[in-house]
Amino acid sequence: MRSVWLWIAVAVCSLCSATAIVRSGSSDEIGKPRDTEIPDNKLMASKVSMVPLTLIHGADSKGAVCLDGTLAGYHLDRGFGSGANSWLIHLEGGGWCNNRSSCVFRKTTRRGSSKFMEKALNFTGILSNKPQENPDFFNWNRIKLRYCDGASFSGDSQDEDSQIFYRGKRIWQAAMEEFMSLGMQKAEQALLSGCSAGGLASILHLDDFRERLPLSTKVKCLSDAGMFLDAVDVSGGHSLRNMFQGVVTVQNLQKDLSSACTNHLDPTSCFFPQNLVSDIKTPMFLLNAAYDSWQVRQSLAPSPADPRGVWKHCKSDISRCNSSQLQFLQEFRKQMVLALNSFSASPQNGLFINSCFTHCQSEIQDTWFAQDSPKLNGKRAAESVGDWYFDRSNNVKDIDCPYPCDKTCHHLIFQ
């Protein structure tokens, strides 16, 4: 029997990630939970390389600080060999704060203060330095920019009363200046990537990223799990729109959003990627699950929209959804596919939209590039992204058939 992988995840205050992995050789054989920082992967070498945190010293003089006023930070693993002049900038995700109280709380976490950030991280998936785990980008300069502003690197204001610094835009600018000074100004190739709230940030900042680099640099973007939809929830409301409206309002983002969008749509609509991706000039690849687990749990069926808990089991394990719930999720998938029509029409863009119940597939080794990673048209996400970036294929635009047709998925299970 093909090895079955189950991901058991626990929801936290920010965008959720799996907290344990259970591997079984068959459906009734359960293994031991493992730390998700080091996925149980046959291809992973036994020696783990930890990449230290670097604070952007002097950034405070530019106002480029986290919510609590501490310095922003990043992790850099230097490139080597043929990748020494290529750069991959990965923007960390982790939700948003949409009112003063949630932003005050966020100051006490790694999502709002570098005081609480890990001092070193294990780079896996698209950040790995091993060719057997990351075949196309393993020897590039790989950077993970930490996320501590609560608005996808977009704010530029301050709450004097609560001493909250909404400085995501300044963090972005200071980080880019830092990376340019470290050698990125001579980059031959560059890829801006990000997961979840970082995937949204990569969309928001892509054209600016392109403008900062020489015209001779090959520049593209990978947005992973960043295609957040302005969808109707199970109560008929708009839970994610309400959240995004709070983010835009509390951080005063109106002035920082795309004018091409705000010229004809309200500011909250211009924080939704579906209203942005078609106007971006730089080539972009969207890697997304059609049944994105975070969106199902927090946008479609959050607890306030489901007070009786009718969706409790379905949003924790897609295999436990009843027929009417599955139909609702199929409509969500249709909305996503429709939202991508114009984006997909551009020959420079790429897609990998699989029918999995998951969230963020580029950072996790098992969903990025492992022996049994999810596939579309016989290719894993890493292979499709590489073919698109290096122009090995002319048309990398893959959209999966509806659930439950794809048997290669690694569906998340939440407890």
pLDDT in tens, 101-135: 999 999 999 999 999 999 999 999 999 999 999 99
In a domain, residue 270? The reply is: yes
- DSSP helix/strand/coil, 18: strand
| Active-site residue, 410 included | no
Which residue among 359, 362, 366, 373 is the active-site one? 359
pLDDT exceeds 70 at position 340: yes
pLDDT interval class at 167 (50, 70, 90) = very high
| Active-site residue, 292 included | yes
pLDDT exceeds 80 at position 250: yes
**Better pLDDT: 49 or 81:** 81
In a domain, residue 12? The reply is: no
* pLDDT value, residue 47: 58
In a domain, residue 28? The reply is: no
* pLDDT value, residue 413: 98
In a domain, residue 365? The reply is: yes
* pLDDT value, residue 11: 35
Tell me the CATH number at 362. Answer: 3.40.50.1820
Alpha carbon 411 to its chain centroid, in Å, reads: 17
- Residues of the chain with pLDDT > 90, as a percent, come to 88
| Phi, psi dihedrals of residue 127, rounded to the nearest 5° | -100, -5
* pLDDT value, residue 132: 97
* pLDDT value, residue 391: 98
In a domain, residue 346? The reply is: yes
For residue 99 the two structure tokens come to 């009112």
What's the domain range around 372?
A: 50-399
pLDDT interval class at 247 (50, 70, 90) = very high
In a domain, residue 408? The reply is: no
* pLDDT value, residue 236: 98
In a domain, residue 43? The reply is: no
Alpha carbon 340 to its chain centroid, in Å, reads: 17
Reported in sequence order, the residue ranges of 95-182 that DSSP labels E, i.e. its strands, are 120-122, 141-145, 157-159, 164-166
* pLDDT value, residue 15: 46
Q: What is the DSSP string of 160-187?
A: TTTTEEE-HHHHHHHHHHHHHHTTGGG-
pLDDT exceeds 60 at position 33: no
Alpha carbon 351 to its chain centroid, in Å, reads: 15
**Based on the structure, what is the number of domains in the chain?**
1
Which residue among 149, 224, 292, 366 is the active-site one? 292
| Active-site residue, 57 included | no
Rounded Cα distance between 107 and 25, Å, is: 42
Beta bridge partners of 90: 144, 193
pLDDT exceeds 80 at position 39: no
Lowest mean pLDDT among 18-27, 67-76, 381-390: 18-27
In a domain, residue 6? The reply is: no
Look over the chain and give the mean of its residue pLDDT values, rounded to a whole number.
Answer: 90
